[in-house]
Amino acid sequence: MDILKVHVKAIMTDYQDLLRTIKSLQHSRLSYIELLQEEVKRNQDRPSEKIKSEEDSDDSSRPATSAHHISTQNEQFTAPYSIPQTLTVSPSLGGQPLSPELAVSLRNILFGNTFHIFNYEWKKSFFKFREPFSDMAYALETERLGGACAIQMVVQAHIIKYLLFNRSVNSEFTMQSMVMVGENEQKKALAAALSDILWTAGEEQTATVCLVTSERCFTPHMDYKLDNFTERLHIFTFKKKDDVRSFIWEHIQCFKEEGSHGIILFLYSLIFSRTIDRIRADFDSTTTHLLHLSLGNFVCRQALLNLLLTGHATPQVFNGTSLNDEQHKALAQPLHGVLTRSHVGYLLWNREQVNHAQLPLVGSMLKTPRLPIWVCNINGTYSVLFSPNRSLLSDWKMEHLFQLYFYNGHPTQLSTTMLTIDTHSHHWEAENNDIQGDPEKKFPSVEMTIRTKWEGAVIDWNGTVPFF
């Protein structure tokens, strides 16, 4: 029955993509047959050298249905969600072309099969910054819902890490300095964030970057669903972190421009940096692949979140390895949790799971990271909490009364929300005892999330109307 549900969901996802494709094609004034006829006529009227020259200089991508670029003098035909040629690289750049065997392994580690492909929501996602030199210049504009948002928010946390704690400057950075970020500094921050995550996944020995070339590397097998994207990958491997960052910086448009499929490219790079064999070793009996279907979209499993945060695709949020279940009975196979403290932490709150007493308890390795930055999973949506005070987690006196900044990634948030956290006033507990039923009826989910780290804390929104 579960297999049938997966197939039905896959068919519905493909059907929705097909409807979008049909709608896009309907906007074209020429039918595909007319385009082919026009192409044949045009090829007869000009030398092959001129065709080659025009193909090389054309800015649009080849459609998935043909290996040749088809265009007219007045308009171009572009396959829906295809990558513009300006965001591809030449095969002569080097790297290793993706083999059909590796493509199958990649598809399986992502989806658990070879017939699922990324849908429109994933394909249109990339790393898009807010306006430079604005109150939100440091911030990425993320998808509100869907699997790509989780990846964007972990990268956002690493961008904050770079801007607050890793820039080569003499003065200590504050929130004020975060808004004085120009476009060039945004690119540097993104390159640093992506390379940091990839380098950690490669155990600080190696990292891999995937880029899309203008030519297909292989012809897929019958049981492999073509997406006209993965089949054009070239894989570039580096053994020095600075080389990774420089390479990403040189090709930053492949991750931050509209149409680039930047989130998927980074996800592929992450998987190859960790390697598929090591990812499988990180898994336990609860997890076989990184994404799962939810409400018609692919979302990240905890193993993928942990891979982004810690460099290991372990599926659990507790510390270490568990040999026993919650009733202290021996497990047939151990469960794999978080083994090391990462630079960026993780907090979790889900009202539905709390109501059913199913909320996983996040261990101290994720709750207390090396730096005061947390990716928050709040009711299935993602946001970031952070503090410019590097000593917050290393000096217990700092945790009596302090500020945290909150960003939910949504374009409607026009300024970073400052929250004041008081861990010594316990009137929240007294008020909570007077509430009948669910405390979230009075306290927003953000506050409940913070209290999973600082139990009983009083949160002041400093004049902002509480949201989330």
C-beta separation of 152 from 263 below 8 A: yes
Q: Is the pLDDT of residue 49 over 70?
A: no
Measured between alpha carbons, how far is residue 338 from residues 65, 268, 307, 332 in Å? 44, 22, 10, 20
Mean of per-residue pLDDT scores for the chain: 83
Using the Cα atoms of residue 17, residue 208, residue 67 and residue 80 in order, give the sign of their dihedral: positive
Q: What does the pLDDT read at residue 440?
A: 53
C-beta separation of 175 from 403 below 8 A: no
Amino acid at 248: I
Q: Which residues contact 234 (CB under 8 A, 6 or more apart)?
A: 89, 91, 93, 94, 95, 96, 97, 98, 210, 211, 212, 213, 217
Q: Is the pLDDT of residue 215 over 70?
A: yes
* 419 φ/ψ angles, rounded to the nearest 5 degrees: -115, 135
**Token duo for residue 57:** 């200089």
d(CA 39, CA 204) in angstroms, rounded, equals 50
Using the Cα atoms of residue 355, residue 452, residue 400 and residue 173 in order, give the sign of their dihedral: negative
Helix intervals (H) in 27-84: 32-45, 48-57
Measured between alpha carbons, how far is residue 359 from residues 174, 352, 364, 371, 452 in Å? 34, 8, 16, 25, 11
Q: Which residue has better confidence, 434 or 235?
A: 235
Dump pLDDT digits (tens) for 1-43.
544 444 444 445 555 554 544 444 343 333 333 433 444 344 4
Q: What does the pLDDT read at residue 223?
A: 85
Dump pLDDT digits (tens) for 240-264.
999 999 999 999 999 999 999 999 9
Dump pLDDT digits (tens) for 160-184.
999 999 876 545 667 877 888 999 9
Going by C-alpha positions, the residue among 367, 134, 335, 152 that lies closest to residue 256 is 152
Measured between alpha carbons, how far is residue 248 from residues 95, 211, 242 in Å? 14, 10, 10
Q: Other CB atoms closer than 10 Å to residue 49's CB: what's the count?
A: 8
Going by C-alpha positions, the residue among 420, 118, 102 that lies closest to residue 233 is 102
Q: What does the pLDDT read at residue 343?
A: 97
Burial call 277-295: b when 16+ CB within 10 Å, e when fewer:
ebbeebbbeebebbbbbee
Q: Three-class SS of residue 32?
A: helix
Q: Where is 3: in which H helix or E strand? A: helix 2-26
